Each structure stands twice: as C-alpha cells, then as structure tokens.
Structure 1
Amino acid sequence: MADTEFDAYFLGPYGENADLFEELLTDFMRDHVYWRRNFHPESTPPISTSARYSQEFAGVAARMRRELFALSADLKKSVPWFSPRYVGHMSSDLLMSGLVANIMTTLYNPNNVSDQAAPTTVQKEIEVGFQLARMFGFETETAVRPCAWGHLTSGGTVSNYEGLRNLQALKFYPLALARALERLDLDLGAPGPLKRALPELSQWELVNLSVDMVVELRRAYLSAASQLGPQILHSLREAVRAERLETLGWVDFFEVHPGLKTPVVLAPNTAHYSWPKAMKLLGLGTANLRRVDVDGDMRMSAGDLQVVLDGLKDERRPVLSLVAILGTTEFGTIDPIGDIVAQRERALGAGLYFPIHVDAAWGGYLASIFRQEDGTLVPHEMLKEQFHYFPSDKVYGAFAALGSVESITVDPHKLGYIPYPAGAYVARNSGMIDFVTDKAPYAFEGHLEEQGDLRERLRNLGQYILEGSKPGASAASVHVSHRVLPLHTDAFGKLLKKGVRASEYFYDELHKIADRLGEDIIIDIPFKPDCNLVCLTLNPVKNRSAAGLNRFVQSIYDQMRVDASRPIQVRSFFASSTSLQAGDLSPEQRLTLAEQLGIEPKTFCASPRDLEHDASSLLLIRNTLMNPWLDFEDKGLNYIDRYLLFLEELILAELQSYT
C-alpha cells in the first residue's frame, strides 16, 4: 500500500478531498461576505433585496451563467496536470492550502505594490522571501549584514530579468561614485573596506569589486559625506545619480568611461531562453551572452568555464554575471555550483570578479531536501541512505554552495505546487535594494533610504522591484503553504523526495525494458538524471540516421502529447518532449552520443544538408515525475509501471509498422 502521508494536502486526482475543499471554500466565502456586511453595517446597502426579482437582474444573471458554463465546458479541454497519468511539463496537483488561500485572497483583491494597497499580503510576501532565503542557506537575521531578502514575481523569466538588472546596478556603481567624487573635488579618504580612495582605482579595478564590497562602499562614503553636513551628502547623492548608467544610458556612460568594454554574461548552453531575452531587454545584446560548454552530463563544464574566464581576464572585459542552472528546463540537470563558487574565488584573487546568479526556477525547492529544521545542511551520507543514486557528489556540492551565491530565481508554481503566477527572486545581500529604488508619491510613503528595519522598508515593495501592480493572492498562497508544509527535509522535503525516488525507480525500470527489447530498439537515457526529470530517446536498431530517429520518437510522442482537437480522455498517459541540440555539444560528445544511439555520427550535425537523414537536434521524450501518487499501486501496478507498460506497447506497435 502506498504512503498516505500527503493525501490530506491535495484535492486529489479524483477529487477525493472534495468535501474538505468545498467546506473550506464555503466557510471562507461566507467569512468574506460577513466582512463586507460588517465594514459599516449602519450604511444602507445600495443593491436592494428586491433587485434580484427584476427583469434586468434576471437577464444579467442568465448571461453570466451561460458564459460561465461555456467557459467551464472549454476548460475541460485543459491539461490534466492533477493526474498521475500526466508526466509531461512541470505541473502537478496543487497543494490545497495554497489553492484555497489563492481563491480566498482573490476575493479581497490586494495589490502587492505596497502596503497602502495590501497591508496584509505585502507582509506575507516579505516573509516568503525570508522563508526561501533560509531554505537556500542565506542569513535572514535583519540585524546581521549581509541579510538576505526576496519577493515574488510572475515567474522565473521576470526573476531572471530582475537578477541581471540588480547586478548591473551594482557592477557600475563604483565608476559613478568615483567620478562624482572627482567632479565635486571631494576628498573623503578611503572609508570602508578599501585601502585606497576610490578615485585612485583603475576602471578595471572598479568594475571588479564584489557585490558585498560595493554595498559597504556606498554606505561608507555616504556616511563620511554626512559627517561633513547634509548639504555635502545631498550634493554627493545627486552627483552620483547624474553619473550612473541608469541615468546616462549605455552610450553616454561608455563615452564618459573610455576604454571600458561592454560586459558579458556567462551562461551554459542549457540556459533558459529567458536569458537571451534579458540581454535584449537590458540593451546588452545577445552577442554579449557568452555560452559555456556543457559536459557529457549536460552540466556547465568547469574546464571550459576556466578557459572562458582566462580569456576575459586577458581581454579586460567585465563579467556582469555568471548564470548557473539548478535544474535545467529541458533536462533537469544541475550545474556544479560548488566548483563554480571556488572558481569565482580564484578569479577574484587574480583581479576578475563575477557575481553568480542561480536560475533555480525548476530545482530551487529541492533545496528543502538538503536543509534541516534548524537551518543546517543535512549530511551527505545521511541523504544518500534515503535514495539509490541521489544526490551525487556534484549535486550535493551544488546545493551546499547556494548560500555563497549572489541571487537565486525559484518558482513556487513549479516544485512548490502553488497556482500560477508565483515565481520568486531571492538575493543574499539586501543592501542591493538601495541601488535600484524608484519612488512614486501616489504609491509609497516618503521613507528616506536606509531608514528603519528591513521589513519596514520592504513594505513599499514596488519601489525596489521590476513589476508594479501584482496579486497579493500569490503571496498568501505561498505563505500559507510554507506554514502548513515548512521548507525543510522532514516536511516539504519529504514530498519532493517522493519525486526523486520515483525518478530513480523509473530509471531502473526503463533499463529493464531496454534490455528486454534490445534486439529491436535502442532505448536510451542520454544522461543520468540529477533530480526528478528524466529524458529518454528511442532508435530502431535498423535505423542509422538522426532524422530517422526523430521521426520514430515523434510518432511515439504524438500518442502521448496534449492535442486540443481531441478529448483528453483518449490519452492513457501524457508526456512532453524536448530536443538535444547538436550545436550545444562538442564534436566528441556528439560522436559518443551517436555511437550510443546507433546512428551515423555525420547525420547528427549543427548544419544539416540532407534533411532526409541529417538533423541538427535529437528529439527526446521528457518525463516530469512530481505527482504525489506515482507510487500508488492498484492491482499490483503503480502508475510508473503502467506508464512504462503503455510506452512499451507503443514502441512494439510502432516497430511493427517501421521499415
């Protein structure tokens, strides 16, 4: 019998907890109505009790019902993400606590731009930021520097934009500060962490100061200026503002700083498509997104990264950020963040600094597996005892190093089991908010910079973030779910361990099928899974071309994909697909993979010529194993067994018609 510990957390694939769900919704809908009635009970209700009996009222009500029933009918074509028969994209059944909290809060319609518009849910969003920060190993005591901060976004794409925007603001601030001091002929000495006065440093030195040092430098110089009087402090602030990149724009800023080269952003070949979009949005240009090769496990290659860093140091080109991936969208692979952090320290010693932003939109919540209730890391050996393969040394090292990076993107609406939209951005040093603040008198109260407790300052949230108006319902949803199921290994981590174990079981059972059918077809997992996302591909033994492999996989996938033109009930199971690009692999990696799959290496190439046989990518079937009931057994078969049996039947049927 399957573990039932998490049964009460979800509505369930068959609506098994419908009574509880309906009871909660009804209770809180009524509670909301009581709140409206008791706001000012002495007022006369503007809608009379007799209004519902009028012809006009009845007509509106009828149209409303008709359109809502039509919507309900259309929604039945939706993706059945709640079912363990769905192993497609990064969606599953939702935590009932978050779902009810979202619906309930929507009735109040709070706008989390500031606490003027959302006095309750802004505070909950601030607390969510600290909850996530603790899970990643950041400091969350506001009296300690640096203290972390975080907030919710509409999704990982916006969080990635914000991460790059914030690092850009800090990267070029020292140049603006040094020039402002020169313009004012203001000698403040060398306050703060540097031994030399800022104007004495070269451009190269100024753009290679760490995030923590830039935060402390700003505080130190403003403090030194304030000791000379409020007029000096005001003049310095205004002079710095006039010299900043955010004021001048790229063209004028680079004219003021001749010899300074356009910064680059480093990211692996597996990086999400939001990163080229971010380069366009910030005006950096996609040509300055430097790709780092991946190894055979589809993780950023530490060796290639070192080659790239050495070249940039020789070129004297600043690195705005290095983007590491904690769970790639396509493959679920995890970059060696522990090694990358070590490389950053070595590079800093050689005069080149790069802040690290981790795109953990998919894998961020897996950090709860690694974190004990007291905030410390779960020992590696203790974790390994709970799995067959997970976590490898590189994967454990990646999660252990998260507390040393500058910022992290994570999506509660993925492995957090929260309704859309709920992304999040979390940064290790909250001091960066002073570099990105924008104020609007109608939205924010007039707090001066750096006054008050961090939580107090963040209640005017909109002045520090990219988005303006945004739903407080998302904040309530995430906050309540984190309270019900805390972010540590013995609570939320236990839920995610189920998915990791499911992927290990899937991995082993698929190999059994591969052995059984090996005379007719090659069933291959190109790289061992790092988490609960498993990719596989298929190639008939008779086929020797990459294009032929893709046609065969496509024919299998067509019978498992969402098809809006057909009722969802005709599908027994749903999977998703992705592709492995030849251009993202080295020639050696392409050769190894081609031999592994039994295809001619020349047919898998970055620039195909004969489309009948050649292909620039290989089609993969992607399986996301996050549904809580994948291990549920009925008549001796759990849902993974059923899915693999279904897949095997599809393969055998397709082989019969294959020529």
Structure 2
Amino acid sequence: MSHDLHKRDTIDQVPPEPCSPEEVALKSFFLGPQSENAPWLRELVMQILDNWFAWRRLLYPADGRAISVADQESTRFLAKREDFRTRIYELMQRFQNEMPSFSPRYIGHMLTEASMPALLGHIITVLHNPNNISGEASRVGIEIEEEAIHELMKMVRYQPEEGNGHFTSGGTLANLESCLRARGRMAKWLAAGAAARAAGRNIGLMEAAHMGWEYYDRLRVDDRMDDDLLVRFNFLKSGALRTVREYEKLFGFPYEGPVALVPNNKHYSWNKSIDIMGMGEEAFRGIPTDRNGRMSVDGLKKELDRALGEKRPVMMVVSIAGTTELGDFDPIHEVQHLLDTWREQHGLHIWHHIDAAYGGFFCTLDIDKIDLISQSMTEALKSMHKANSITIDPHKLGYVPYSSGAILCKSKREYFYKKTHAPYINFRDAEDRGPQTVEGSRSAAGAVSTWLTARSIGLNRAGYGIILERTIRSRMKLESLFAEASVRLRVNPHAETNVLCFCVADEGDPLSIVNRRTQAIYEAFSPDENHDFFVSKTSLGRNDYKAFLDDFTSGWDAVQDAGELSLIRLVLMNPFFDNRETDVYYPEEFVSKLLQFLDTLE
C-alpha cells in the first residue's frame, strides 16, 4: 500500500467560509437532510389539505352528505378503516427501506432531493387529479402546463410566442417526440418534392427531403398542391412500401430511407426510439467521440458527407447536453455551425435536436461571469436556442419528483406535426396539445411542480443558477481532495458539470485489474443496501469512446487487455453535499471512507 493513501488524514482542517445570503435563502426551498424545514412543510401540507377539503365541501353544498355519521360509527366501517390504517403503516414501513436519495450521501444516479415547491406542486395536482389530454378533463392543469412550458422555453432562450412544447413522462419519450416531428417534417418535404418531380420539375430526392419551409410553401402555391395530392407521396399517409416505389420511379434510383446521426455518447433511449420508428438499426448511425468523450464534429461531417453520397436523407442530427456517463456537453455550437453551413452551401435544412434531459437546467448559470465551465460548454449553452428541438427533464436537475420530462420546439409549425381526431374528446382549437402528444392521458403533476419551482426558486441566475453552480463546485472540491489523497485515484480530466467519474489504477495496471477494482468499490458503496455512501458505475466501451480511453488510460500506461473501462460514477446533484454547517463534511468523509476501503483491497 502506498503511503499517500493516508495523506487525507494529515490535511489541516480549515474552517469553511459561511454561506452567502443568497445560498442561505435558497435553503428555504428544500426540506433538508435532517428534515430541518419539517415544521414549515407540515404547515403548508395542512393548508393544502384544508383548502382541498373546503373546496369539496363548498362547491355543491346543497347536495348533502354521502357518508353519514352513522356510517362512520358502524362496526364494519371502523373495521375497514383500521385495516386501511394497517396497510398504510405497512406501506410506510416498507418505504423505510427505500433508497435514501434525499441524503447528501447518495451520489449515485441522477436522482436527489426534490425541492419543497416541487413536492407541494405535485401534491396539489394529485389531489385534484387533472388529465391534461384536453380542456374537458383539465381546466387549470393545461393552463399551468402552458405557463410552465413558457418558463422552460425562456430558460433555453426560445421565444415562447414562436414555439411550443409539452410535458412527458421523461426524456425517453421526449426524445421520441422529437424523432416523430423530424420525420413528420421530412415526410411533408419529400411529398412536395415528389409531387413537383411528377409535375415535371427537376428536383432531386436529397433536395426534396431537406428543402426548407420557404421552398415548400412556394412549391405548394406555384404548383397548386392540395392535401389530397400530397397524400399520395407522403410515406406516413400512403404507406412506406408504396411510397418508396413511387420515389424510386420518380427519382430513378433505389431508395433506402433516411438516417439519424446520433453521437456514441448517447443515452440508451435513442436505440428505443429508432426501434419504435421502424427505421432499422443500420439507419441509426453513431458519431465518434473525441478525446474529451464528446461528439467529434469531424466525425459528424464525415457521416453527413457519407449520407449525401449515398442519397440517404438525414432525418436529424442529435447533440447531447449533459451526457449520461460523464455529464459533459457536446460542442453544440460547432454542430449548429456545421449544419448552418450545409444549409447555406448545399441548401439542405437538417433538423438539430439537443438531448438536454440532464444538462438543460445549466442554462440558468451566469455563464458570462463564472469561471467554472469550459469555453466549449459556455458556447454550447449560448447556442442551444438555435436548435429545432430540445429535451429537458425537470425530474433531474429541476429537482422535481418523477416523472417529469418535456419536449420543446423552437417553431410552432414544427411542433404541430399532425392532426388527430377523437370523437369523444373536444379538442379546443388547432393549437391544443392533446392531438400532438404520444401519450393520451397525461398527469399535470410534472408541469405544476415545474411551474411552482420556476415561480418560487426561479429558472435564472439568482435561483437555479446558484444551486447548480454550487453542485459544480462540489465536483471541483471532490476532485481536489482526490488529487491530495492519492495518485492512484484517476479522475476524468475533462469533467465540467457535476458528474465525476474515476477509477483506481497503479502504473501499468491492465484494464482488467482496474475494472475488477472498480467493481469492488461499487459493491462496497452499492445501492443494494445502506452504506456510508451510494455510488453508481458505468462502462465506456472502446467502440464508443476510443479516443477518450486512449488518452485517459495513457495516464498510467495501461495494458489494453479489455474492450471497456469501468468507472465509478458520482452525480453530485445534492445541494447539501458541500454543506458548511453539518457535523460531517461529506466530500472529505467520502474520500476517507473510500481510502479505508482501498486499504482492505491491498
């Protein structure tokens, strides 16, 4: 065992600086690890319940009671009530064994303490139980969803009056919603191009698939294309096989369908989306990552050139803002610049979607003043508003209860991609969200929770910006403690948000040994049972992260005897992890426990 493993024990304990007034104020929005704000939360919950009780009593007071005092005093009623109480007690006892994700000791997955505004918004919504499918089932819920979507759009610098969106059950569904809209747009453009070709215009398939709305609108007017004509050439209306035969006859070559370009650092939900879309695995083309673990823009350019050469329309290009494994941002600004260049030079309009399920709320950072993030991430955040669509998960860095995701579209025209008729639902107008959502029935809880947090905490620099800046500083603090503790602690050198990944390696260690050591650490701090801390584990495969792995593992001259590298993954979302008032200072405590465990492996 190397001597430096015990260096942590000799670090001088310097009293930390007190919290700023702004940070102290933000503590009012969380219950606290020891339920410090419980009296206030209890008061608010009782006010909510009393208000709900009164609303029910006073709405139709002349109706009279349905449950009499005699009913409530009957033997069978009382017996059932006691049985019910027993079941409630049983359920509460079972949840005593649930994951303590509220605790600063939970630094595993992208899950943490929910804010009190979010909890209370969720409770209020559950009590009233609106269904945001339409105004017939939700009067207030759909209004609040509209306002909450506007808050999210302003956060990412979309113009609410120009775009639209809706809440989903999470990022997986929001990403699928973006695929459907990108495909729907391409289907319309291809249909117009095919109709124009049939009418004698010299338009190619790639030009048609990426023509842009201005050319589409002009074609429809100039060639007098009505909806009935376009249905014949729309593969979503007339069937893919029949339409492909039309395309091949008109354009004169075998048509193999569109492709989607998604970086290899993607979330696994993208594989689901492509499966659901029925595009086939070969149409799902991965973009290599660079030495930082982010999308390679050179790799993207090669795939765009390849698609152009193969005459395969590009349905969409996806960038990631906050990758699942490393928490980092793709160079969104460079991706957007490349797509803008293609539009200007080739006349090809390509849908750009940003999967910001995790990283979207970093838009609240004061990026012009803080020096915590890279220039690339700064430029990426500034460029997000240029993309066609964005996925955001309030149930991650929005500190909102599950499940709450959202799809945002920059353009209303691209959001409202289809018409749906349901004879038993009265959709109010052309801009009703109901016909546009994959889910039919939708709870308003995610929208209301997001609305209340946005209006109370603030999706701005003075609210969420301070909270998320604090979490980034937590990662930086832990990195510095790792550096002081041992040279064996190998930390991802390119981290820039609040996710820290590391492994333990001696000079010359093969990947197989490092991976076994990572597995042992994971089991010692796994979520299977209560430990001093809880961590997660990820594996970076050589096929997806070759440049990153070559660079990272060269730091200890690793023997490349495995196809992947396993890393301990710490998600430092909890706003109290770097707390200055607790008796335990969590960053130092975690390093101490980690070093103690490593001693046992020697």
Alignment of 1:50-89 (within 5 A): 50-89=70-109
After TM superposition, the structure 1 = structure 2 runs for residues 104-253 of structure 1, keeping only pairs within 5 Å, are: 104-140=124-160, 142=161, 147-179=162-194, 199-210=201-212, 212-213=213-214, 217-218=216-217, 236-253=226-243
Q: Does structure 2 conserve the Cα–Cα contact (< 8 Å) formed by 1:525 and 1:534?
A: yes
Q: Counterparts in 2 of 1:39-50, with a 5 A limit?
A: 39-50=59-70
Q: Does 2:526 correspond to 1:552?
A: no
Matched-pair contact (CA < 8 Å) for 2:135–2:427: no
Distance in 2, matches of 1:241 and 1:112, equals 31
Tell me which residue corresponds to 2:461: 489
Q: In structure 1, give the amino acid aligned to 2:355.
A: D
Give distance in 1, aligned partners of 2:231 and 2:457: 44
Give the structure 2 partner of residue 478 of structure 1: 450
Shift of 1:445: 3.3
Q: Any idea what SS the aligned residue of 1:30 has?
A: helix
Q: Please state how far the C-alpha of 1:60 moved relative to its aligned partner.
A: 1.9
1-structure distance, mates of 2:376, 2:196: 46
2:535 counterpart of 1:575? yes
How far did residue 171 of structure 1 move? 1.0
More displaced stretch, 631-640 vs 427-436: 631-640
Structure 1 counterpart of 2:322, one-letter code: G
The aligned amino acid for 1:482 is A
Matched, 1:301 2:296: yes
Q: Which residue pairs with 2:9 in the alignment? A: none
Task: Kindly indicate whether the alpha-carbon contact (under 8 Å) linking 2:193 and 2:209 is maintained by their aligned counterparts in 1.
Answer: no
CA positional deviation for 1:493: 0.9
Task: Note closer, same or farther for the CA distance 1:537–1:309 as it changes in structure 2 (3 Å cut).
Answer: same
Asked if 1:281 corresponds to 2:276, the answer is yes
1:632-654 CA-partner distances (Å, limit 9, x unpaired): 23588621111112112212222
Tell me if the contact between 2:196 and 2:203 (Cα under 8 Å) persists in the aligned partners: no
Contact 2:134 2:425 in 1 (8 A): yes
Residue 229 of structure 1 corresponds to: none
For the pair 1:25 / 2:12, whether they are aligned, the reply is: no
Please give the alpha-carbon distance, in whole angstroms, between the structure 1 residues aligned to 2:509 and 2:197: 68
1:427-456 C-alpha deviation (Å, 9 max, x unpaired): 111112342232213223363x4xxxxxxx
Question: TM-score, with normalisation over the residues of structure 1?
Answer: 0.83
Shift of 1:253: 2.0
> What is the letter of the counterpart of residue 458 of structure 2?
P
Which residue of the partner structure matches residue 5 of structure 2?
none
Q: Deviations over 1:299-327 (max 9, x none)?
A: 00112112222222222211111110000
Identity %: 27
The yes-or-no answer on 1:416 pairing with 2:398 is yes
Q: Give, in whole Å, the separation in 1 of the partners of 2:61 and 2:239.
A: 55
With over 3 angstroms needed to count, the CA separation of the structure-2 counterparts of 1:446 and 1:414, relative to structure 1, is closer
TM-aligned CA distance change 1:396 to 1:42, over 3 Å: same
Measured in 1, the distance between the counterparts of 2:307 and 2:551 equals: 30
AA partner of residue 532 (structure 1)? N
Question: Within the alignment, does 1:254 sit opposite 2:274 as a pair?
Answer: no
Rounded to whole Å, the distance in 1 between the matches of 2:69 and 2:220 is: 63
Q: Could you say what the CA RMSD is over the residues aligned between the two structures, in angstroms?
A: 2.2
Moved over 4 A (4+): 178-183, 220-225, 634-637
Alignment correspondent of 1:597: 556
Task: Report the counterpart of residue 641 of structure 1 in structure 2.
Answer: 588
Q: Note the alpha carbon deviations across 1:5-63, whole angstroms, 9 max, x for none.
A: 32110111111111111111111111111111111111122211211111221222122
Once the two structures are superposed, what CA deviation does each residue of 1:144-173 show, in whole Å capped at 9, x if it has no partner?
xxx111211000000000001100000120
Gaps of 5+ in 2: 1-17
Q: Who is 1:358 aligned against?
A: 354
Indicate the residue corresponding to 2:407 in structure 1. 425
Alpha-carbon distance, 1:179 to partner:
4.6
Call closer, same or farther: CA 1:5–1:652 in 2, change over 3 Å. Answer: farther
Moved more, 245-254 or 103-112: 245-254
Quick one: distance in 2 between partners of 1:110 and 1:430?
A: 25
8 Å CA contact 2:579, 2:585 repeated in 1: yes
Question: 2:11 matched to which residue of 1?
Answer: none
Residues in 1 aligned to 2:164 and 2:178: alpha-carbon distance in whole angstroms = 12
User: In the alignment, is residue 314 of structure 1 matched against residue 309 of structure 2?
Assistant: yes
**Residues 296, 527 of structure 1: 8 Å contact kept:** no
Q: 1:213 to 1:79 in 2, by over 3 A?
A: farther
Counterpart of 1:492 in structure 2: which amino acid?
A: Y
Aligned partners of 2:291 and 2:549 also within 8 Å: no
**Kept in 1: contact 2:194–2:208 (CA 8 A):** no
Tell whether the 8 Å contact from 1:321 to 1:355 is kept in structure 2 after alignment: yes
- Matched AA of 2:359: G
Q: Please give the per-residue CA displacement for 1:450-471, whole angstroms capped at 9, x wherever unaligned.
A: xxxxxxx2xx321011111011
Give the equivalent residue in structure 2 for 1:535: 501
> Whole-Å Cα distance in 1 between the matches of residues 465 and 419 of structure 2?
35
Q: Given that residues 388 and 410 in structure 2 are in contact (C-alpha distance below 8 angstroms), is that contact kept between their aligned partners in structure 1? A: yes
Distance 1:182 1:342 in 2: 31
User: 1:492-507 alignment to 2 at 5 Å?
Assistant: 492-507=464-479
Q: Residue deviations 1:508-531, cap 9 Å, x none?
A: 2211112xxx3xxx2111332121
Amino acid at match of 1:205: E
Deviates more, 1:413-422 or 1:261-270: 261-270
> Partner amino acid for 2:370?
L
Q: What TM-score do the two structures reach when normalised by structure 2?
A: 0.91
What CA distance in whole angstroms lies between the structure 2 residues aligned with 1:526 and 1:160?
Answer: 27
Matched residue count: 576
Cα shift readout 1:270-299 (whole Å, capped 9, x = no counterpart): 101111111110010121111111111100
Give CA-to-partner distance per residue, 1:361-400, whole Å, 9 cap, x none.
0000011114xxxxxxx53xx222xxxxx22111111011
Q: Take 1:48 and 1:241, find their aligned partners in 2: how far apart are those partners? A: 61
Instruction: Note if 1:512 corresponds to 2:484.
Output: yes
Q: SS in structure 2 opposite 1:321?
A: strand
5+ residue gaps, structure 1, are 186-197, 226-231, 371-377, 385-389, 450-456, 604-614
Native 8 Å contact 1:179 1:199 kept in 2: no
Q: What is the match of residue 435 of structure 2?
A: 463
Provide the rounded CA distance (Å) in 1 between the counterparts of 2:219 and 2:80. 64
Q: 2:420 aligns with which of 433, 438, 441?
A: 438
